[in-house]
Structure 1
């Protein structure tokens, strides 16, 4: 959960679910740190992996660690994709990557235990955040020290959330006024809402490498030093 930052508009409002970039999700790709994303959300399946450690049905999930598995699902129902078995005429889950945890066997089985309750893909307790639909890079320049850092951020994040991403680079980030093109930024708004346009599509149409132009945010030091 993203901690509160001093100076945000309304501290009585519960913090919203954090946004994650696909790159961040991809870093959690081990049996003891297993994230996946699907249908626009990010899930930490580490507890599931721990509970079913050694189970052969965990193998497809381990193989998908750190990846987006939206192609496993029917976006209209939120359930695993299904198909009609041509031999039995029964509706079955479509799992070409292999049957996994909580998917019933293809045929009746005496050792199938369905007392687990809701399947993991319908269990909200695993949800930890939202997968960004579009990420972008920005350059943050500290005018006091002349230090520069390039960050990948989520287009849906407001400036407070982007500031949180920048804190490891500068623990005193809240002691600065953030400006773009000479204008102070509204920290409760997104980059786009602050006039920091995402021009990737325009660059693509003009066959210009978007990496050659990264918007710059300038930080101007205030009077106090606040550390988080």
Structure 2
């Protein structure tokens, strides 16, 4: 079996990356990993600051001594303003910040000029009023430098039932994913997928097509129209064991979870086992 990299992400998968050391956001249909961008922004801060908290990290909130930016009345350090703004919205969708691929703009009430609308301020690199501190700003949302995948427009539940063992797993998948990509999500529950035939209503599924293209419709909107619960009926895909005696190639991760095993990497633990 050929393992592929995940292409589509659900909002729940993006939401778990909500820390300074692991910061993901979604915007304009893409998912961005802004962790290296945050680190680069923090290096721009030249303020002298002594942190008294034990963690000694830039994102701690219990510092006793603050940099001069705090003494001037700023909520955040001026050099860290943009980074802290992104960190506040880590794991969330930021599409409403943009319009037609550019930052939403407004008429500044003081200067009367058209500027980008940023709720928490512009930062020291792009001041609103004319200043010698102005520096070019590299938009993180342009290009593929920080893109890790695509954000789904709609998620849907799907049940996968193994007719051999009788086990059933309910997954939240992206509506744009093909059956093969859904198989990658189901892989932790059954590592010997190629020995099974995937069927729905007695018909074999095409692995290169989505659920909708295979005739597995999402009827939750119809349930809502007649005041029924969305989870009243979840379509089920049935897996039939073929007994073809095939074996999957070794994976790069161990299945046993033993720490010493992961360090030594014995060949026996890295062979796929059937369920």
Query: TM-score band (shorter)?
Result: 0.7 to 0.9
Conserved in 1, the CA contact under 8 Å of 2:111 and 2:129?
Answer: no
The answer for unaligned runs of 5 or more in structure 1 is: 7-14
In structure 1, what is the Cα distance between the partners aligned to 2:141 and 2:106? 18
Which deviations, in whole Å up to 9, do the C-alpha atoms of 1:118-156 show, x marking residues without a partner?
321223211121111111001111111111111000011
Alignment match of 1:105 (pick from 120, 127, 135): 127
Matching of residue 175 in structure 1 with residue 203 in structure 2: no
Matched, 1:153 2:210: no
Of residues 36, 47, 54, the one that matches 2:25 is 36
Q: In the alignment, which of 91, 95, 101 is matched to residue 70 of structure 1?
A: 95
Aligned to 1:85: 108
The Cα of 1:160 is off from its aligned counterpart by: 0.4
Query: C-alpha separation between the residues in 2 aligned to 1:197 and 1:101?
Result: 51
1:121 aligns with 2:141: yes
Does 2:207 correspond to 1:184?
no
Normalised to the residue count of structure 2, the TM-score between the two structures is 0.72
* Two-structure CA RMSD over aligned residues (Å): 2.0
Q: Structure 1's 195 and 163: CA in aligned 2 closer, same or farther, altered over 3 A?
A: same
* Correspondence for 2:150: 130
**Which residue matches 1:9?**
none
How many residues of Structure 1 are paired with residues of Structure 2 in the alignment? Answer: 212
Within 1, Cα distance between the matches of 2:24 and 2:123? Answer: 16
Q: Find the counterpart in structure 2 of residue 10 from structure 1.
A: none
